[in-house]
Amino acid sequence: MGACWKVLGSLTLEGIEITQKGLQMTLSDKRQHFTLMLSELLWWARANDLHVALDYVKRSEQEQAAMVEAGASQTMNSKHLDGLAMDLLLYASGVYVTSAEPYRPLGDYWKSLDPANVWGGDWETLVDAGHFEYAG
The residue from 87, 90, 97, 121 that contacts Zn ion (CB under 5 A) is: 87
Cβ distance to Zn ion smaller for residue 5 or 82: 82
Q: Which of residues 113-132 bind Zn ion (CB under 5 A)?
A: 131
How far is 113 from 62, CA to CA, in rounded Å?
31
What is the helix (H) or strand (E) element at residue 120, kind and residue range? none
Instruction: Report, in Å, the least distance between residue 3 CB and Zn ion.
Output: 29
How far is 103 from 51, CA to CA, in rounded Å?
11
Instruction: Report, in Å, the least distance between residue 79 CB and Zn ion.
Output: 8
Assess 40 for contact with Zn ion (CB under 5 A).
no
One-letter identity of residue 50: L
How far is 85 from 34, CA to CA, in rounded Å?
8
